[in-house]
Every structure is written in C-alpha cells, then in structure tokens.
Amino acid sequence: MSVWRRKTLLRMIEIQRVLVRHGLDEIITATHFLRPLRFLFALFPKARDVSESLGKRIRLALIELGPIFVKFGQAISTRRDLLPPDIADELALLQDRVPPFPADEAKDILEGIYGKPIDEVFSRFDREPFAAASIAQVHTAALQDGTEVIVKLLRPGVRDLIERDLDVLQALAGLANTYWETGKRLRPLEVVAEYEKTIIDELDLMREAANTVQLKRNFEGSDLLYVPEIYYDYCRPAVLVQERINGIPISDMDALRASGANIQVLAENGVEIFFTQVFKHNFFHADMHPGNIFVTVDDREKPRYAAVDFGIVGTLDPKDQRYLAGNFLAFFDRDYHQIAKLHIDSGWVPAETRIDELESAVRSVCDPIFNKPLSEISFAQVMISLFETARRFNMEIQPQLILLQKTLFNIEGLGRQLYPELDLWKTAHPILRQWMEGQIGPRAALQQLRDDLPQIHDSIRKLPGIVRYLSEQIEHDRLNLDVRASELEEIHQQLKLQQRQRFTLAASATVILSGTLIVTLAATTWPGWLLITGGVLAAFTGRPGQ
C-alpha cells in the first residue's frame, strides 16, 4: 500500500474515532464509506458524556475534525428551517466562535511576517481575538494614524490540515466514481477538484484582498452594499488588514428590530445584491454565512448591508450565465417547455432526451411552489426533488455551478431568517429581465460589434498583404494550379471585389457604432439615427452578391 493510501486510510479511521468519541455512531452507520469500518467501534470507547445535546456534540466533533468539516457546519448553519433549533444554535457558533489559537502565537507570527515588533506596525493591537473561524482568526487593531482596522491571520498549519482532508475527499470521490451506480452522472472527481481550487484559493489572503477591492469597485456609490477598505501596504499572503466594520450582525434579529430597520427592504435588497453580483458583475461573494454579513442603519428605511471575508468568490462562464438566467425567467413565467429545452441545449441532459417528458417532470416539481412566500417553500426541498427528477434523465452535475448553488442556498436561509414573507420572484424577476435584454437585444449586438471592431480593423489591415501573397503564389505557379489566363484574371477581379466589399462593411460598422454612441450619449439623437441608417444601407449594398 502506498504512503498516500495508508495516510488516507488512517485519516478515515481517525474520522470514525472522533465521531464515536462524541457519541455520533449513527452517522457512521448511515454513511456508506465508513460502514465497513464499524467493527472498529470497540477500539474507540465513548469518552464524552452523551447526555450533552446532540448539537453540541456535532459542533465539537466538527471542530476536532478540522477546517473542512467546520466549513461544512458553517454552510448548513444558515438553514435553520431545515435543522432542529438546538443543532442550528450550536452550528451557528462555528461562524466566528471556533476556539482561537493563542494570542502570543499570533503576535509572534505577525512580527515574523513584518520583520519588526508589532508595536512598530500598529499603534494598538488587541490580543484577545475578535473572532475565530475555521481557517483564520481576527484581531482588532489601529494603524499608526489611528485608523481602526481588523487584522486577519491564517491559522498555523492550516494548509497541511486542509490538504490532508482533500486527499480523503479525492479518495472517496474515486471510489464513488468507480463503484457508485450514479457516480459518473454526479461527477464526484470534478466536484472535489472544483472544491479544492476554491478552498486552496482561500488560503491566500492577498487574493482575498484583491477580491475585496474588486467587489468594492463593483458597488462603488451603491446604497445596497458596503465593502470595507483594504490597506495593501500591510497585507501579506498570510495576513489581511482592512477597515473595521461597525454594524449589527445579520444574525442578531433582536438588535435589528430594536434599531427600527425596515426588515422587508433589507431582505429584498439581499436578493437584489445576489442577482446583481451573479448576472451584472459576474463576480459574487460565495461565502455568505451570517458571520460575514453586517447591517448599518444610518437610515432606518434604507438599511445597508456590509460584507466581509471575500476569500471565496465565484464567476460563471457567459454561456452558463445565459442558460441560468433563461432558466430563472422561464421558471418565473411557468414556461417549463423552455426550461426543458434549455437543459437539452446546454448539454446538461443527453441530446436524445424527449423534451415533452422532461417538461412534464419539471412542471410536477416546480408548479406547486410558484408564487408562494418564502415561508412556505424550501429551495433545498425543490433541489432534492429536481435531483431525483434529473436522475431519470441522466442529468450530469455541473461542478462549475456548485459555488452558485451553495450561495443561493445561503441566500434563501438569510431571507427566511429576515423576512419569511419575502416574494423572491417579484424581487428577482425585473433584474433578470433587464440583464437578459441587455444580452440579446439590439444594444447588445452593437456592443459586441464595438468590442470586435479592433479585430475587424486588424483583419482589414492585413487583407492587402494576404491578397498580394496569393496573387504572387498564383503567378509563380507555387500553388500548382493549372489555370488559363482568363481564369487567372477572373480570380484577380474577384479578390479585388471582395476587398472592396470588406472595406465597405468595415466602414459601415464604424459608422453604425458612431451613430449608436451618439444615440446613447448625446442629448440630440437624430444625427446618430442618420448615421445608423446610412451605415445599414452601406452594409447592405456592400454585402457579397450586390
């Protein structure tokens, strides 16, 4: 047995030992990949008092198992609607109340990174951690000019712990891919690979700093979301220094109500922020558990979100963006035929799938929940039903969408917690409709033309050289073509005609683009429409065959 396999097997046994020690035997017997090892129960006596609540035992076991397991607990802690209250309360502590590492160790690490005493870096550094999570912990501090900041510091040895458990996930994914009946369709190897990229990126705090700056730029001047300032001069791969946010934690409903904040507006803004990030910016915060979200209430009728911890962000391929937006809009319109068609067109289900059968299956899942308030529906339950439906049609999991699904899962949890009567469809529909019109309408086509104009210009600039080269090749018989003089002259004339046509089309595109800019930006639009009309007519007369 290789060293890698031996370490993986030992880690799996260690996972079982921790679960047994915390009195969680039922998890082992319910989990296929650990069930063959249940004979080892006798080797791991229960050391913990099982009279403690199940929620507390689960929380302590996840902390002992390490960062990846803690992050799993954080993710499901947002779904209080799916968990018993005691378990939800305990898992919520994983968001920012994981046991910290010692303050002296934090101080020594920082001084080693900066190469100077910590008092020379900060005018004040608070030894007691402000918050501690799975990968890093946070201390409050002040810069030399008095600016209040937070200092985020990676946990010592966290990379080794994560890589150890990634090996376990890879091994289990390999087994599932080989032996699980639906393994190929669920693509476990690709799912683990996607998760590995995400969590390894989270270990680079310089990347998180850059993500924060980008999100701040995206929401510059927005009343919806505030993103803190980053102080790059103090940032390193293992240290992040940013502006300290003073707000009400999103999970503190009592404080939010006491502040007089308009909770309905807050919930609706959360949905708008999510869809704006995904479809307008294509750059979204993908770790939106309550520990990372605050609310400022300078204006009670317009409460504002403030977000932190951008170690995990997501982007989508433009094709996936369009298909997802199309699916959402079709769902809002109850157009289940379009949903089925989009799934087939995107390749998410086999091309030979009967569209009418898929349409009927989607309708049976989605129609019952349409237009219900959030308090009466659960996306988690809908997703489970859709996965069951997808299994019938051999739909493959899309690993590139997992972050988005996780984020939507969190958004639903936050929305349900804030304002159970939230009308998700009414809030999201106009955002998606506007985005889709911008993608497929005339303005989008003109924008694409403007984007392609440099390439068109470059191709035209190269065209005379290409024509000259081809002519010389023909004249010197280098193409081994046996053509008569009259045919050669005809080829020359055709090449010249094509060159004129291309020049005319390029000039027409320039005129149309100029007219579009005038219509879009100028107060007087008739010159722009005149240019557009002239450009279209010139393009029509210059097209091949005219």
In this predicted structure, what is the pLDDT of residue 1? Answer: 47
Average pLDDT of every residue of the chain: 78
In this predicted structure, what is the pLDDT of residue 215? Answer: 95
Measuring CA to CA, which residue among 263, 523, 201 is closest to residue 417? 263
Rounded mean pLDDT of 243-269? 91
Rounded mean pLDDT of 84-89? 81
Quickly count: other Cβ atoms within 10 Å of residue 351's Cβ.
7
Measuring CA to CA, which residue among 141, 108, 105 is closest to residue 234? 141
Instruction: Enumerate long-range contacts of 315-319, CB under 8 Å, 24 or more apart.
Output: 315/282, 315/283, 315/284, 316/278, 316/282, 316/400, 316/401, 316/404, 317/400, 318/282, 319/346
List, for residues 15-30, the tens digit of each pLDDT value.
Answer: 878 888 888 866 655 5
CA dihedral (62, 64, 70, 73) in degrees, to 10, reads 10
CA of residue 105 relative to chain centroid, distance: 34
For the chain, give the percent of residues with pLDDT over 70. 67
Rounded mean pLDDT of 356-384? 74
List, for residues 143-172, the tens digit of each pLDDT value.
Answer: 999 999 999 999 999 999 888 888 887 877
Is residue 287 annotated as a catalytic residue, yes or no?
yes
Lowest mean pLDDT among 38-52, 330-344, 514-528: 38-52
Q: Is the pTM of this model over 0.95?
A: no
Main-chain phi, psi angles of 60, to 5 degrees: -65, -35
Rounded mean pLDDT of 500-515? 64
Rounded mean pLDDT of 168-177? 76
Q: With cut-offs at 50, 70 and 90, classify the pLDDT of residue 227.
A: very high
List, for residues 336-358, the tens digit of each pLDDT value.
Answer: 899 888 888 887 788 888 899 88
Residue 318 predicted with pLDDT over 60 = yes
Domain extents in the chain = 3-95, 99-132+135-244, 259-439, 442-542
Catalytic residue among 89, 104, 252, 287: 287
